[in-house]
A and B are shown apart, each in its own frame.
Chain A
Amino acid sequence: MALTSEQTANQTNGRGVTQDAYADTEFPTPYLGRSVRIVDKVVNVDMKQSPHPKNQRGELGKPLFNWYHNTVSKDPLTRVSAPNHFADRRHFLSTVINQAAKGAINPRRVEVSDPVAMTRHIKAVAHYMGADVVAVAKAHPSFLYAGGRYVQDGSAQDAYESNTPEDLTRRFPYILVATTAWDYDKLQAHRHFIGDAAYHVSQIKGNMILKALEGYIKELGYTALRGVAIPQAAGVASGVGELGRNGLLINKHFGARIHMPDPIMTDLPLVADEPVDIGVDDFCKICRKCANTCPTNSITFDDKVVQNGVEKYKINWLTCYKLRPYVHDHWSSCLTCATVCPYTKPNVWWRDLAVKALHTCPYVARPALVHALKWIDDRFWGVARNHRVRWLDYDSGVKPGEHACTVSGCTASHAGQEQEVTGDFGFYAPLKENTNRFVKR
């Protein structure tokens, strides 16, 4: 769930496992579906101990610190849409939105007599604003960060920062999760600026939608807190998806190609959704495509482990993170594990049919079904993704480091771009076998 510090993990890994870690409290252990299980007390983690804030403080070494603070992307669209690699911060919409002043709560509160109708309404509002997935989680203290608020490139101070997670859960019993999906076709060019476009543009759009949703809840006369809850925890609890081996939430319509942005904790009367079972647990036990193709071997081939009281697959976030400064000229977000995930497909009927089959299949028969579906995925989509993708003047068929104009009909003269590009093969740097020299494990 949360990207916890190693120190926090070690505090809890040695404990005995109980069936109901919160049995004696007013907050019983939440059921999170089959992919994640809370088996022990969860220590609330300060978000400031997660990768980005640690890197901002220079705790991950000079190359990463320098990459985070002092690099400007070569790609104009990345300079507009990706955090930290802009030439001018004013071009990055998320900064504009996240650093804006907080609005006041409307004193003329809209009374909610029917939480079911309000839940339907707030979901319709989020979809109307452009969200692809919306769900409501029942809050639990283990879903919350310890310490102050955290919003990337912004601030989220509020009057409740001194409250304990238990107090916050009593006062604000619901977490609203709303998110956007990445464009499927562009995502096929993972480890490329085209894939970055899929990721980052939907990310800034999602940030805008959440900010608007936060403002609307305040206009209804209720509180909306940001930077409080762990998105993945709220995501599995609300049925946005199940947690995969790759550490990503896998949604029944979009697979792993969804963001998990900062959710909204609120006292708006709502009805919580339930976790879903779309067979991710059964699939991840067998598939391992993400672990096989991860360029830094950051995804485990082993079984789940208990990390800070939560049983789940544990990825090595540090090796995942460490590659970034070395590939800065070619891409900024890897996305390979999301792209190869067999659940990541266009949102069409045959995909829904496969998910429905997994959902309805008895547990004992699921391994056979998973083997069949994985064979189909390997046969038709490939064991690894290396399709050539062209969008605008981007072309993943051009080798990294080379330049060529492959735009049909372009008669403009481009100095030093005379190479011919043929074939239907995409180049995605770096090759997996070459990453060991960058990332020491």
Chain B
Amino acid sequence: MSSVARKWPWSKKNVHGDDPYWDFFINTPPADLTNTVTELIRNAPAGNIFPTKADIHTPEITSQHVKEMARYFGAEWTGIAKLERHHTDQPDSYPFAVLCAVQAEYNPRVSPGIGGQVPVQNGLFITFVLSAWIRELGFRAHVESPLEAEALAARAGIGRLEAEGRLVTLQFGDKVYVADAICTDLPLIADG
């Protein structure tokens, strides 16, 4: 599957410059939110955890497999962060967060059009399927929007935080969108 069209960070060429409708696609907010898939994926309820735990490997290998699976779903960068607020005496807390990032040619925070939200759409696809897969392995997984995904991604070594709190990566600068964090109790090894 192809992802977002690649463009080198130093390239000045606007590949959509001669498209009279491109600005509408990127910047015009939808008149009816039902016409976007982002809302319906975000609001979809999480499914049940499969009753039988899968026969998993060592935490190092399981971490590699989770990252490989996320890459297959379209993530360009993946990382695992340890959640500090995890307490072993609280059964509902999660020890790890899986972070996935995709390339974002336009900043979704200031590009409300369906096109501007494509990185969000791609991120939601990854987090939906990846968290469902972890639950089907028999472990808890919860996509948590309010979590500071960019700060966690920086802690997981995907990039570093700039002054305004946005994640910056070596390859694509700030043209990166970090999807919502997947909190899980799958035995993993944290990065960073």
A142 to B165 CA separation, bound complex (whole angstroms): 56
B172 close to chain A: CB less than 8 A: no
| Interface segment out of the listed B87-95, B129-137, B151-159, B176-184 | B129-137
Cβ-defined contact, B25 with A121, below 8 A: yes
Known pairs A410-B57, A411-B58; A88 contacts B47 (CB<8 A)? yes
A80 to B137 CA separation, bound complex (whole angstroms): 10
B78 close to chain A: CB less than 8 A: no
A81 to B72 CA separation, bound complex (whole angstroms): 13
CB-CB under 8 A from A80, the residues of chain B are 129, 132-133, 136
Cβ-defined contact, A79 with B136, below 8 A: yes
Known pairs A121-B19, A132-B2; A212 contacts B132 (CB<8 A)? no
CB-CB under 8 A from A219, the residues of chain B are 28, 30-32, 35, 114
A159 close to chain B: CB less than 8 A: no
Interface residues of B in 96-152 (CB under 8 A from A): 114-115, 118, 121-122, 125, 128-129, 132-133, 135-137
The interface bits of chain B over 34-47 (1 if a CB of A lies within 8 angstroms of the residue's CB, else 0) are 11110011001111
Cβ-defined contact, B65 with A393, below 8 A: yes
> How many residues of A sit at the interface, in one of the four size bands?
35 or more
Contact of A121 among B21, B37, B50 (CB under 8 A): B21
Chain B residue, CB-CB nearest to A392: B65
Cβ-defined contact, A125 with B115, below 8 A: yes
Chain B residue, CB-CB nearest to A104: B32
Cβ-defined contact, A100 with B40, below 8 A: yes
Cβ-defined contact, B22 with A91, below 8 A: no
Which has the most chain A C-beta neighbours within 10 Å: B35, B40, B48, B58?
Answer: B35
B55 close to chain A: CB less than 8 A: yes
Cβ-defined contact, A96 with B41, below 8 A: yes
The interface bits of chain A over 205-222 (1 if a CB of B lies within 8 angstroms of the residue's CB, else 0) are 100100110111011100
CB-CB under 8 A from B69, the residues of chain A are 77, 392
A186 to B104 CA separation, bound complex (whole angstroms): 27
The interface bits of chain A over 75-95 (1 if a CB of B lies within 8 angstroms of the residue's CB, else 0) are 011011100000111111100
Contact of B58 among A124, A202, A220, A412 (CB under 8 A): A412
Chain B residue, CB-CB nearest to A81: B129
Chain A residue, CB-CB nearest to B122: A130
CB-CB under 8 A from B61, the residues of chain A are 393, 407, 409-410, 412
Cβ-defined contact, A202 with B31, below 8 A: no
B163 close to chain A: CB less than 8 A: no
CB-CB under 8 A from B5, the residues of chain A are 127-128
A344 to B97 CA separation, bound complex (whole angstroms): 38
A395 to B24 CA separation, bound complex (whole angstroms): 47
Contact of B68 among A204, A215, A392 (CB under 8 A): A392
Cβ-defined contact, A88 with B48, below 8 A: yes
CB-CB under 8 A from A121, the residues of chain B are 19-22, 25
The interface bits of chain A over 90-110 (1 if a CB of B lies within 8 angstroms of the residue's CB, else 0) are 111100110011111011101
Tell me the minimal C-beta distance from B145 to chain A in angstroms: 17
Cβ-defined contact, A76 with B125, below 8 A: no
CB-CB under 8 A from A93, the residues of chain B are 41, 125, 128-129, 132
A121 to B113 CA separation, bound complex (whole angstroms): 15
Cβ-defined contact, B35 with A216, below 8 A: yes
Interface residues of B in 49-102 (CB under 8 A from A): 50, 54-58, 60-61, 65, 68-69, 72-74
A254 to B80 CA separation, bound complex (whole angstroms): 34
A166 to B128 CA separation, bound complex (whole angstroms): 40
Which has the most chain A C-beta neighbours within 10 Å: B19, B28, B40, B65?
Answer: B40
Which has the most chain A C-beta neighbours within 10 Å: B5, B54, B133?
Answer: B133
A177 close to chain B: CB less than 8 A: no
A286 to B28 CA separation, bound complex (whole angstroms): 53
A118 close to chain B: CB less than 8 A: yes
CB-CB under 8 A from B72, the residues of chain A are 183, 197, 201
Chain B residue, CB-CB nearest to A75: B136
Tell me the minimal C-beta distance from A378 to chain B in angstroms: 30
B171 close to chain A: CB less than 8 A: no
Tell me the minimal C-beta distance from B151 to chain A in angstroms: 28
Chain A residue, CB-CB nearest to B25: A125
A120 close to chain B: CB less than 8 A: yes
B13 close to chain A: CB less than 8 A: no
Chain B residue, CB-CB nearest to A417: B55
A39 close to chain B: CB less than 8 A: no
A238 to B129 CA separation, bound complex (whole angstroms): 32
CB-CB under 8 A from B122, the residues of chain A are 130
Can you give 13 A-B contacts (C-beta < 8 A)? A90-B48, A90-B132, A100-B34, A100-B37, A103-B33, A106-B32, A132-B1, A181-B1, A201-B73, A208-B125, A218-B32, A219-B32, A410-B58
Given pairs A81-B129, A96-B40, A121-B20, 16 additional interface contacts (CB within 8 A): A87-B50, A87-B136, A88-B48, A90-B46, A90-B48, A93-B129, A93-B132, A107-B31, A108-B31, A131-B2, A183-B72, A201-B129, A219-B31, A407-B61, A411-B58, A412-B56
Where the two chains meet, the residues of B that have a C-beta atom closer than 8 Å to any C-beta of A are: 1-5, 16, 19-22, 24-25, 28, 30-37, 40-41, 44-48, 50, 54-58, 60-61, 65, 68-69, 72-74, 114-115, 118, 121-122, 125, 128-129, 132-133, 135-137
Sort A-B residue pairs by CB-CB distance and give the 7 closest, nearest first. A215-B35, A103-B35, A103-B34, A88-B47, A90-B47, A91-B132, A76-B136
